[in-house]
Amino acid sequence: MESGKLASFFEEDLCLFSLRSRKKNSVLQEMVRHLNKTGRISDEQFIMEMLKNRESLGSTGLGMGVAFPHGRSLAIQKLTVLFGYSSSGIDFGALDGKPVNIFFLILAPSDKGAETYLALLSELIGVIQKPDKLNKLMKVRDFKSLTEILDGKE
């Protein structure tokens, strides 16, 4: 993936800076419902089931307060990312046991190869592994700042 292009996968109306949910399934539901309301998915139930099944394979909460729920489904037409932030943090069964504040929900069509989302996933994980970027992401409250952090302009 080209450097400086990470932000191009994000859309302003798919950034939720104040998630209200307090539990794992309800935060997934809140984000999926938003994707449905904004017309990005064709069926909320398919996506929810797929994400819950993905979590049963192993939590996508990688630690450090960040989770990457992801998967492929027929109910999505193109690679889509939703950014979510919870100020209180959510028990997401993360690998380090800590609450999750930041969610990168990544969905890809099932008729395309896994590589369509794996590269994006890898890039995003690379970002949160940089302590200065992670600290900034924990404080981000608007789309412009988010894209600047992702593209290394901040």
Partner 1 sequence: MREEFRLLIGLQDIDVMIKEAKDKSTSKELQEMGFQLTGLEELQKARKKIADKIPPSLLNRYEKLADHFTVAILPVPGNMCLGCFVKLPTSFFSSAYSHELLTCENCGRLLYIP
Q: Which residues bind partner 1 (CB under 8 A)?
A: 42, 45-46, 49-50, 53-54, 56-60, 62-63, 71-75, 95, 110-111, 113-114, 118, 121-122, 125
Q: Could you write out the DSSP letters of every residue in 121-146?
A: HHHHHHHHTSHHHHHHHHH--SHHHH
CB of 49 to partner 1, least distance (A): 6
CB of 59 to partner 1, least distance (A): 7
Between 88 and 122, whose beta carbon lies closer to partner 1? 122
The span from the first CA to the last CA of the chain, in angstroms, equals: 20
C-alpha angle 154-115-33 in degrees, rounded to nearest 5: 70
CB of 32 to partner 1, least distance (A): 13
Task: Decide if 70 is catalytic.
Answer: yes
Strand partners, 16: 84
Q: What are phi and psi of 102, to 5 degrees?
A: -115, 130
Tell me how far apart the alpha carbons of residues 117 and 120 are, in angstroms, rounded to a whole number.
5
Between 14 and 67, whose beta carbon lies closer to partner 1? 67
Between 30 and 123, whose beta carbon lies closer to partner 1? 123
Which of 40, 70, 105, 140 is catalytic? The answer is: 70
Positions marked catalytic: 70
